Structure 1
Amino acid sequence: MDLRQTRAFVAIYEAGSINRAAARLNVAQPSLSVQLRTLEDELDVALFDRSPRGVVPTPAGIDFYRHCQIILGAVEGARQDMRHAGREVSGPLDVGLIPTIAKGALASVLPGFTDDFPRVAMRVAEAFSGTLTEWVLSGEVDFAIVTEPPVPQDGLVLRLIARDPMVLVSGRAGGRTPFAPVRLAGLTGPLRLVLPS
């Protein structure tokens, strides 16, 4: 049994006539009759009762039609998948993010990404810059977004994707003009710096 026979059977079943099915498929009626007889011989069962007014499916023909719908549906689904397979990005994607991005920006970006790339299975790992760099080098993640650029080395490609504005917060006693730019070199006196650890 092949797909040509399966399609021929479905056309005959749906048309209720070998002649009408032949016209629908744009093939000669005798050729379609031969395909049907060959199929019935292979299956060792009569699929239709024939009469001068057309064909009527037997109980086996009704069951076989259901199977054919599944088969042809699966074939069409596979055809559609393969048409898109060459153009569609798919597979796993392991991403490393620093905690501030994982908790903030990811929530606004992820829904759009999953809509655009439904066949990509994204896994997000969260750590600080040094650990993420090690994970990229070891292959644990495909790429990472970090705030502390690592020392350039083989196996790493660095690309600036954003600049993050930083703000100096100080008390009034510091004598600084509010909201005026400050150069780090110009800061004098004891300055306590708090960083996440």
Structure 2
Amino acid sequence: MVGTLQDIRLFVAAYEERSFTAAGQRENATQSGVSQHIRKLEERFRINLFTRDKGRITPTPAGDSYYRCALDVLRAHDAATKVAQTFATGLAGDVVVGLMPTMTRCVLAPALAAFSDAHPNVSLRIVEGYSGTLTKLVQAAELDFAVLPATAGFVGLRSRHYLTTPEVLVGSKSHAGRRSLDPVRARDLGPLRLVVPSRVNTRRMTIDRYFDSNGVKIERLIELDAMLGTLDLVGRSDWVAVLPGIMMAGDAEPENLVINPLSAPVLKLDLVVVEPTHRTLSPPADAFLARLVEEGRRLNARWDDAGAGCAP
């Protein structure tokens, strides 16, 4: 036998964490136990999978190749297990999903209501957070998947496109002097009193670059990582915010807000579904993702009607 599933899981954890100690914490094993399993594999192969230097480990070329094949083994075993479980119990189980406020404001509720009615035996938990926190939870396999802004790849994660949505300017009806859904040109904006997320938010750099490159004057700036607080401030004052269109798409006629897609140039946000590389989605998780996709596309189509031209 080349290696047991436990050997392979511990190797994959060590490879992705670059640490026997961190791998043990991730897999509920001891550091010495992880080291012994890796050494057992290396003795069977008669080749080193890692180089070791003062507590640090680095994969060898053999380790890199074995990692890629090991992922295939874990995915195949995971898929086979879940198929067998589906035949035995039907569509039931536990699903944990990570969503940003971008998704929880408008997309989540209708998708969750429809899914819960169709699959009452699925235990579903939603974790709300920003991209940095959710990425770490997916890497640790504490989430089945998360929907995040597209960014550079991470070891141990894979992503696929969810949708592209326009960024929209949100202001107060009593101060904006614009009609909702009318596109606004960047060169016509400013000076602005602008509410932005802090720099830990993936979107912040994109927003800064957009206004800088289009010469939009910012009179004052507030950093606010609280979406409800942002909307409350904008609705009560002459402050404005740039928010993802999918987040505001459920407001057909917002009571106190004006929502305008940014144009000339258009500013768009790509969202992706991120999941661990060594696992496949369970049937309940896959079904819930399908609901999120369906609801997201339905809401996002509003911006095509408004001329923002964002494909699902």
TM-score per shorter chain, which class?
A: 0.3 to 0.5
Structure having the larger proportion of residues in strand: 2
Normalising by structure 2, we get a TM-score of: 0.30
